[in-house]
Structure 1
């Protein structure tokens, strides 16, 4: 199923909203007003999400978009004058930064629905939570790499990969969170040894985004790349023949982070510290964890649901197969980000 077909099918299915009441266990709805969503996401899935929420509740969604760090700074600078009800951003590292900047407030009303989210995918005090999962994986050229040679990120430091690895720069939050997870699991010394090994094995200086790493593998500039899984899924579901062909040429390995399974990160949200429409914001945050919203993320954005029981229809995610996940709490990814950056600097990872 292509992305466009999936999008059309899902939007048609949402028109009836037959199962959306499950997201609001109390059965209540304000039926009026607005919710101001400040978000760093810019996906078609989110437009479908907002439309579904308004149809179900009658609450209009005002969307304010900005890149992650700028979004955090804008809400922080607005302080008590902020009109933000909900703050959404990608990567646990940025969510931690937002929390440290005082952007969130406790939302005890969410305690029941948050019980459905695995404990490691939410901030320990419930200040923010992940609503979709993104996995840091290893992409490889099917014609040049035997996937049995790689089972963990540690394997990429072997000399056999000298001059064969493409990866983003050290200032990329995805890489910072990956290394921060290694610090949490195995300690700073082991994390630094890994980072140094990757630098020694790079095929080129870090450049571009995850999409560029995939294209570099296809162009034979390198044989393996470190990416988030959904970037490859986009290629595989693309209606552009050239991009689809690239997707078919690249394989994916859900490599272990030490002995703990694949490294899982999140897109997440929290109740804004000065939310002027608190009740509507709570309804929206509950809605993010409904079965239908979880399906939207999986089918339109190729992210994995955080709710283990959530069902979805995505042939590519199914083809990726099952994998085990690390149990590092997402809050530690932000807490260890500073140490991760210092390690990157020491080993000369640009």
Structure 2
């Protein structure tokens, strides 16, 4: 049952119906991960999943949070909770699954999937040859009014956080100021940006790759007008992760650790590759869209994902420059 609060209760099998449910706060949407949660239910897990949750809520709840597990869409949110001492250290069989470049230094959360920042573009509006090598090229007047972005979205904020880390506060402020002066078109979500690129409202858009991949899997590449442009060794090629942590205050840590293990098992990892278009973090399988690079073929900037935790500083900067 989906209630107005966004709470989905998935009861386990009759054998464990009397056991205490593991409460999962999900920053990932029900549309994206609900079918996977249903698989967990069929395997006998007793879960209560509450969707559209954010780290800020857990920070407010503190040690009194009812959540056992937080499945976040962004490394920065998990970093905030870890910095606040609210996450438990995970078992080594969980922490050693992912490539070291996508793991946190403190082992307090685990990456589940990865996604790359990309520039979606409409070949009818701009040729591939005219696409920039990096985000500085988007400051060219030829892109004036022709770039879609989502300033309030977590993925754009993480990109800006990465920009702050890579270029410093002054460098990030300078780029944002020039970017906004080029009249980019603001949208609420990545999917809306992609729709605008597809219909020619804007020529390009800054999104995460899997929105395009999911559209292609649903409609066929011939029915999706846009294409993807991958930057290399640039803030615009940030590879961020969705990840999961167990709250230190959880009274059900062992069961919560099993939820983490379930997200990282082969079945779940293939679900993300085949159903959502995200890069699986624990198995080396290609995405269901031919032609897209594999995770190990991407060229992200050299960045520790732990450094994406300062979302407050990013929101302050975005407010200062007028993006929020």
Return the TM-score normalized by structure 1: 0.77
Structure 2 counterpart of 1:139: 120
Given that 1:48 and 1:296 are in contact with CA atoms closer than 8 Å, whether structure 2 keeps it comes out as no
SS class of match (1:255): coil
Structure 1 residues 146 and 115 mapped into 2: Cα distance closer, same or farther (>3 Å)? same
Deviation at 1:269, TM superposition (A): 0.8
Given that 2:159 and 2:236 are in contact with CA atoms closer than 8 Å, whether structure 1 keeps it comes out as no
Structure 1 residues 296 and 157 mapped into 2: Cα distance closer, same or farther (>3 Å)? same
Structure 2 counterpart of 1:310: 284
Structure 1 counterpart of 2:5: none
Which range is displaced more, 79-88 or 151-160?
Answer: 79-88
Correspondence 1:43-192 to 2 at 5 A: 43-44=30-31, 46-56=33-43, 58-69=44-55, 72-73=56-57, 75-107=58-90, 109=91, 111-148=92-129, 149-169=131-151, 171-192=152-173
SS class of match (1:187): helix
- Quick one: higher RCO (CA 8 Å, sep 6+), 1 or 2? 1
> After superposition, what is the alpha-carbon deviation per residue over 1:151-204, rounded to whole angstroms, capped at 9, x for unaligned?
2122211222222212112x3221111011122223223322221222122243
Of 199, 211, 215, the residue aligned with 1:231 is 211
Structure 2 counterpart of 1:209: 189
Q: CA RMSD in A?
A: 2.6
Which 4+ residue blocks in structure 1 deviate beyond 6 angstroms?
none
Q: Which runs of 5+ in 1 are unaligned?
A: 1-30
Structure 1 residues 87 and 320 mapped into 2: Cα distance closer, same or farther (>3 Å)? same
Structure 2 counterpart of 1:252: 228
Structure 1 residues 186 and 64 mapped into 2: Cα distance closer, same or farther (>3 Å)? same
Which range is displaced more, 173-182 or 46-55?
Answer: 46-55
Given that 1:165 and 1:203 are in contact with CA atoms closer than 8 Å, whether structure 2 keeps it comes out as yes
Structure 1 residues 246 and 93 mapped into 2: Cα distance closer, same or farther (>3 Å)? farther
Q: Distance in 1 between matches of 2:46 and 2:68?
A: 12
Structure 1 residues 180 and 78 mapped into 2: Cα distance closer, same or farther (>3 Å)? closer
Deviation at 1:246, TM superposition (A): 5.8
Deviation at 1:61, TM superposition (A): 2.1
- Structure with the larger helix share: 1
Structure 2 counterpart of 1:323: 298
Q: Distance in 2 between matches of 1:55 and 1:345?
A: 45
Deviation at 1:234, TM superposition (A): 2.5
Given that 1:132 and 1:267 are in contact with CA atoms closer than 8 Å, whether structure 2 keeps it comes out as yes
SS class of match (2:291): helix
- Number of residue pairs matched by the alignment: 303
> After superposition, what is the alpha-carbon deviation per residue over 1:242-283, rounded to whole angstroms, capped at 9, x for unaligned?
xx7662x1011111353x782111111111121121111111
Return the TM-score normalized by structure 2: 0.83
Which range is displaced more, 173-182 or 158-167?
Answer: 158-167
Structure 1 residues 286 and 147 mapped into 2: Cα distance closer, same or farther (>3 Å)? same
